[in-house]
Amino acid sequence: MTKHEIVPLTKEEMRNLMFEIEKTDEFDYMFFYVLKTTGRREGELYGIQEKKEIGRKKVGERTIYIEGKATTVDRTIPIYKNTGRLIYGVKVKDIDLKEGVMKIWVLKKRQYRQDETVLTPEAIRLLDVYISKNKLRLEDHVFRKWDIRTLQKRIKVYAAQAGITHAVVIHNFRHYFVTELKRLGWSDADIQVLTGHKSTDSLSTYKHIIARDLKEKTLSSLREL
């Protein structure tokens, strides 16, 4: 297992984890509950670092034809630098509590566009309470109480308190959402609509996790052969 591979959370681990979060911090519980029940990326809720193109880097060459004559030109890619400013992220105006949907900014074909994700009744309640209690206005960002690094540190603390011995990161919630829908028989195409994955190919990485569910059943059957 590589250090970048997500260790799946079991339902029991997720229940214990959410219990620890709920009893500790109202914002954290709302944030992680929305992640768990929408399968969206944390940056889509929180926002992303703005990047400015500062130049281009040569990565090879390519041949083009001008009036039938072959000419070799450089093939380049842009070089970006963070500006230190956050852009996008969910604002109060992006959440329709009545309809139960939330608009988020996603990168599609190199451009950021707004997409919709479905909110559960409990997510609607949590968002409604948090927005009202904190008197957030339409242009206020909903998920920026802490920065991402702080949230990542906090989820590690919660995981330890929940007795989870393997590494837990924020992406575990998106991973959990996809895995559980696959276990319920959802198609990759339908999951992609909810999660905003760029292609269904990226969802194939979850198949090995579902296969583990069959292990006990398989071993039990093999004993009878």
The alpha carbon dihedral of 51, 57, 61, 67 has a sign of: positive
In the chain, what is the straight-line distance between the N-terminal and C-terminal CA atoms, in Å?
Answer: 32
One domain, residues 100 and 57: no
Structural domain tally of the chain?
2
Tell me, yes or no, whether 40 lies in a domain.
Answer: yes
Tell me, yes or no, whether 147 lies in a domain.
Answer: yes
One domain, residues 80 and 100: no
CATH code: domain of residue 187: 1.10.443.10
One domain, residues 71 and 154: no
One domain, residues 36 and 61: no
Q: Which pLDDT score is estimated for 211?
A: 56
One domain, residues 41 and 93: yes
75 is in which domain, residue-wise?
48-84
One domain, residues 140 and 206: yes
pTM: 0.81
* Euclidean distance between CA atoms 158 and 155, whole angstroms: 5
pLDDT tier, 3 (very low <50, low <70, confident <90, very high otherwise): very low
Tell me, yes or no, whether 6 lies in a domain.
Answer: no
Among 80-89, 107-116, 207-216, the range with the most confident prediction by mean pLDDT is: 80-89
One domain, residues 80 and 93: no
Query: At residue 1, does pLDDT exceed 60?
Result: no
pLDDT digits (tens, 9 = 90+) for 207-218: 665 556 656 566
Tell me, yes or no, whether 4 lies in a domain.
Answer: no
Tell me, yes or no, whether 149 lies in a domain.
Answer: yes
One domain, residues 130 and 214: yes
Among the listed ranges 8-17, 38-47, 57-66, 216-225, which one has the minimum average pLDDT value?
216-225
One domain, residues 179 and 69: no
Tell me, yes or no, whether 128 lies in a domain.
Answer: yes
One domain, residues 78 and 19: no
Tell me, yes or no, whether 2 lies in a domain.
Answer: no
Nearest to 43 by CA among 110, 88, 94: 88
One domain, residues 125 and 174: yes
Q: What letters, b where the CB count within 10 A reaches 16 and e where it falls short, cover 201-210?
A: eebeebeeee
